Structure 1
Amino acid sequence: MTTEYISQHLDNLRLHNSSPTTIRHRLDNLQRIQAKLGKPLVEATTDDLVAWQTALRISPSSIATYTAHIRAFYRWALLNGLIQIDPTIHLVTPKLKRRMPRPIPERDLSAALTTARYDHQLFCAFLLAGYCGLRCGEITRVSRSDVREDENGKGAYLVVHGKGGHERIIRIAPDIYAEVRLLMHRTGFLFVSKNGRAYTPNRLTQITSAHLKAIGLPYTLHTLRHRFATRLADLGADVRDVQAALGHAHLSTTTLYLASNSRRSTTSVDKLGRGFAAMAKRQSAARRSQT
């Protein structure tokens, strides 16, 4: 059920130019919570919401997501005089562990690309994730009009429609663009199902995950995005450039890819280890001289 107040709240999000995805997620979450409460949200008490949150048997990240959506609704309701007190005041936001990147190894990426050659859309989805850093939802929103070919015909630039309605421009390398270009006979979205409709992010996730599982790889499309970021770091790209390429709102998110970058520090760590060997030789010589 969708109450009048939820509809008004969504209208307010549209006025603030929130993305259709954000609005859809807000609606879905508010409807789920209202159904659990068994009453309109504006009639819920603090005790009702605490009991609802306490009864949740889902992951901490999902609890945090639900809590963020419900808090945003009640902030809006309070601001517009629909309630007198914010009933979410005693809700707890779980402390989440920082997720470390899990990039797909180069050998497994090669296997994924080789076995995806039979389906050019699938092949290009892997390329855009692994070599351009696009999220699954961003890939499904790629349209022919978003692509601007380089003046010399080598490579292109792509307007990426990111999370929260934020856009960024990323580079498509010449070799990657040569493959993506084969999809550009279409006038609309590049990634479509057999009925001509654009893939949803969930559907593309299912297709790519099923392919990876079928060839024995325990990865998702998002791990190819992780690979893109860590490889940029390997090549010495400035962290701000990596942030811009990934579309991260906060630099702290991007630095996770630098923290997990083991190859970049290998030489220094090995050099430090050789220092221990020299130290051990000196200690051994000193012991022999004492005997």
Structure 2
Amino acid sequence: MDMRAAADRFLRYLKVERNASDLTIKSYGEDLEALVDYLEELYAAPATTGEVSTLDLRGYVAAVSDAGYSETTIARRLASMRSFFRFAQREDLVDRSPAKPLRNPRRKRKLPHFLTTDEISKLLYAPPTNTAAGLRDRAILETTYSAGLRVSELVGLNDSDVDFEQGLIRVRGKGKRERLGPLGSFAAKALQDWLAKRTLSVRSAAAKEKPIFTNKFGNRLTTRSVGRMLEKYIAQTDLDTRTSPHTLRHSFATHLLDAGADIRSVQELLGHKSLVTTQIYTHVSTTRLKEAYEKAHPRAQV
């Protein structure tokens, strides 16, 4: 079962069968929402109860700890997870509770796959610019990476969402939450080149909100189509086959943080409600740390 649906079922159980207080239900709801957001960012897809592992939950607990939350908060979130998965086990939503073995909140967590800056450049320049489809594909890749978009947010963009003068796009994220995303000069140029060639179907042209990215019939592009498009360029460029549309979002966040961007700013740009979800990207390789040390410390080298 989808984790969000299972969490709603658990909260109804607390209210109807356990007669829990509104404050208790609110606390459980907030804890479980933060957990589900983290898992969806980790999987780059909706999480289900059956696929959540103990290692995934250890990663979440480590992220909560790294984000600076108090021991009391960490203990409460652990308690919420254990209660939820005990319920899920009783309801046959899981075979066994992945939260039961949890002890140490600082075990190494799984990291998202991302591309290096050189690999990103290789991918962005893969689409040809002598066809309308190539211009569209380049605009898709540039815009996704420029603003750190989820693929659902990308295909949902309309003409009215783009402000070329300010270099911003309006993004509709999860829970109908809106945010402003940055539109860099390369992405803006790619978008303008595509829009100059785009044709709209009669239906799209008559719609109140005109879709930016369309298929060959002039209708709004689907997330599945974006995935198939990316697979083609991954094969052409010989990049890691784990690369998906969400990899561009992972790379966006990783590159910003590695370059010294403030994590709370990155949180805002990604549209995360909780800093814990953003915390998954705060990984810096030992090599980069060593390079920074050797450049900055006066006695690092002879």
TM interval, shorter chain, is 0.5 to 0.7
Partner of 1:193: 215
Taking the aligned partners of 1:230 and 1:244, their CA distance within structure 2 comes to: 14
Q: Percent of aligned positions with the same letter in both sequences?
A: 25
Please give the alpha-carbon distance, in whole angstroms, between the structure 2 residues aligned to 1:138 and 1:262: 34
Unpaired runs of 5+ in structure 2? 18-85, 103-107
Does 2:183 match 1:247? no
**Which amino acid is 2:5 matched to?**
H
RMSD of equivalent CA atoms: 3.3
| Displaced runs of 4 or more, over 6 A | 271-278
Q: Is the 8 A contact 2:257 2:266 kept in 1?
A: yes
Q: Give secondary structure in 1 for the equivalent of 2:175.
A: helix
Residue pair 2:156, 2:211 contacting (<8 A) in 1 also: yes
- Structure label with greater radius of gyration: 1
1:229 matched to which residue of 2? 253
Normalised by the length of structure 2, the TM-score is 0.57
Residue segments in structure 1 that go unaligned for 5+ positions in a row: 1-28, 30-65, 279-291
| Residue of structure 2 in register with 1:137 after alignment | 152
Farther-moved stretch of structure 1 (254-263 vs 228-237): 254-263
- Residue 159 of structure 1: how far off its partner (Å): 0.6
What's 1:157 paired with? Answer: 168
Q: Which has the higher contact order (CA 8 A, sep 6+)?
A: 2
Label 1:98 to 1:206 Cα distance change in 2 as closer, same or farther (>3 A). farther
Deviation, 1:87, is: 7.2
**Residue 258 of structure 2 corresponds to residue 238 of structure 1:** no
CA contact (8 A) 1:248 1:254 kept: yes
2:177 paired residue among 166, 187, 190: 166
Q: Is the 8 A contact 1:100 1:260 kept in 2?
A: no
Does 2:81 match 1:70? no
Q: Would you say the 8 A contact 1:149–1:157 is kept in 2? A: yes
Alignment partner for residue 238 of structure 2, among 199, 216, 219?
216
The offset of 1:264, in angstroms, is: 5.6
SS in 2 for 1:158: strand
What secondary structure does 2:181 align onto? strand
Shift of 1:271: 6.3
Post-superposition offset of 1:248: 1.5
Report the TM-score when normalising by structure 1: 0.59
- Aligned pairs for 1:76-115 (under 5 A) are 76=12, 88=88, 90=90, 94=98, 98-115=109-126
